[in-house]
Amino acid sequence: MTRPTLVQIRRDLHRIPEPGFQEVKTQRYLLNYLDTLPQERLSVKTWRTGILVKVHGTNPTRMLAWRADMDGLPIEEETSYPFRSVHPGYMHACGHDLHMTIGLGILSHFVEHPIRDDLLFLFQPAEEGPGGAQPMLASEEFRAWRPDAVFALHIAPEYPVGTIAIRPGVLFANTSELFIDLVGKGGHAAFPHRANDMVVAASHLVTQLQTVVARNVDPLDAAVITIGKIESGTRQNIIAEKARIEGTIRTMSRESMTKVKERIEALVRGIETGFACRAAIDYGCTYCQVYNDPALTREFMDWAGTRRDIRLIECSPAMTGEDFGYFLQEIPGFLFWIGAETPYSLHHAKLEPSEQTIEVAVRLVTDYLAWKSAQD
């Protein structure tokens, strides 16, 4: 497959971002493309809005898997692209359009140039939420084609094209959404003593939440609590009866995640008592850490370090979240960053990753999987 074809695929996918488990157009596009490939070595299954594709090897002794995520984000696009999203309020702002394109490029190569081992390509929905990895792992379709190792990548805006960054062990954090609802008693702004003001209660709680990491987490560990949204009230002269706080928790250890949640729950109970209100906590979508298998990762780093077309960096852990961690809990493998060279961060409305990344990634991964398959 030529690079312009892959670039066009990426642009087509960029135009149709969809929410998790609603990737209907995306799934149809991928299936239509798969239909254009030689079918002799292909087996295809669908699972919800995802796809599993097996490329049969010439003399398989194991199965190696490659995963690409599919969903978009609820962001109104602000790029300069002529191929911007046609779905208002949704955008591929995390590079999943590139991830799918890279996956198709790798798959297409091995359909034409088969290797010894079987290859499984996982096009996984709902990475951004509510989480597609866990239910895909539990599905009959996946269990029938359970691989021996699984790999993935993620674009990194901060690195130049041609750079990959990886480390053995923890690469991405444990993450959890955080939703807190407070319910008090509304009233007239002139009579605050007759009401329980949830704007004030929420403000106190947000301030208290900032003490959790500073005073309850081992300073040699790492954790983050970010409150990204507060909703309360209807107008300036009405005391708010309800407030909703939305945020995220990220920790480098499972132990810290447990401790942080325990402390949040204690603070919320205190707010209930102090402000005579009711409170409810919902942790929403929770992802485990991405833990790269040390032996496989070191082997990959040694292999990649010999390439002249790649700059290899052993990076630090990041507080990003990725449900690929659930695959790595059950199956050895790794995920790595690949440079996409753009000034805007992931989840930014102006994210424009370099399309040169596609060619670099396809070449790197096809070479690696062919090399890996040839190893005893």
Percent of the chain with pLDDT over 70: 99
Dihedral angle computed from the Cα positions of residues 139, 140, 145 and 151, in that order, rounded to the nearest 10 degrees: 0
Does residue 3 carry a pLDDT above 70?
A: no
Task: Compute the average pLDDT of residues 139-155.
Answer: 98
Q: Do 86 and 16 meet the contact criterion of CB atoms below 8 Å apart?
A: yes
pTM for the model: 0.92
**The domain defined by 174-286 carries CATH number 3.30.70.360:** yes
Does residue 133 carry a pLDDT above 90?
A: yes
Dihedral angle computed from the Cα positions of residues 268, 274, 276 and 278, in that order, rounded to the nearest 10 degrees: 0
Find, among 371, 353, 16, the residue nearest to 153 by Cα: 353
**DSSP class of 197:** -
Angle between helix axes 294-304 and 356-374 (nearest 10 degrees) is 110
Does residue 325 carry a pLDDT above 80?
A: yes
Task: Compute the average pLDDT of residues 133-147.
Answer: 98
φ, ψ at 55 (rounded to 5°): -105, 115
Does residue 4 carry a pLDDT above 90?
A: no
Does residue 206 carry a pLDDT above 70?
A: yes
CATH topology for the 3-170+289-374 domain: Aminopeptidase (3.40.630)
Positions of CATH 3.40.630.10 in the chain: 3-170+289-374
Q: What is the pLDDT of residues 118-132, one digit of tens each?
A: 999 999 999 999 999
Q: What is the pLDDT of residues 62-98, one digit of tens each?
A: 999 999 999 999 999 999 999 999 999 999 999 999 9
Mean pLDDT of the chain: 96
Task: Work out the pLDDT band at 35, boundaries 50, 70, 90.
Answer: very high
Q: What is the pLDDT of residue 336?
A: 98
Comparing 1-10, 179-188, 246-255, 274-283, which segment has the lowest mean pLDDT?
1-10
Dihedral angle computed from the Cα positions of residues 164, 170, 129 and 98, in that order, rounded to the nearest 10 degrees: 10
Does residue 345 carry a pLDDT above 60?
A: yes
Q: What is the pLDDT of residues 159-172, one digit of tens each?
A: 999 999 999 999 99
Q: What is the pLDDT of residue 27?
A: 98
Q: Which residues of 340-362 are buried (b: 16+ CB within 10 A; e: fewer)?
A: bbbeeebebeebebbbbbbbbbb
What is the DSSP pairing of strand 169-172 with strand 290-292?
Answer: antiparallel
Q: What is the pLDDT of residue 366?
A: 98
Give catalytic residue positions.
69, 128
Q: Do 120 and 52 meet the contact criterion of CB atoms below 8 Å apart?
A: yes
Q: What is the pLDDT of residue 149?
A: 98
Q: What is the pLDDT of residue 201?
A: 98
Positions of CATH 3.30.70.360 in the chain: 174-286
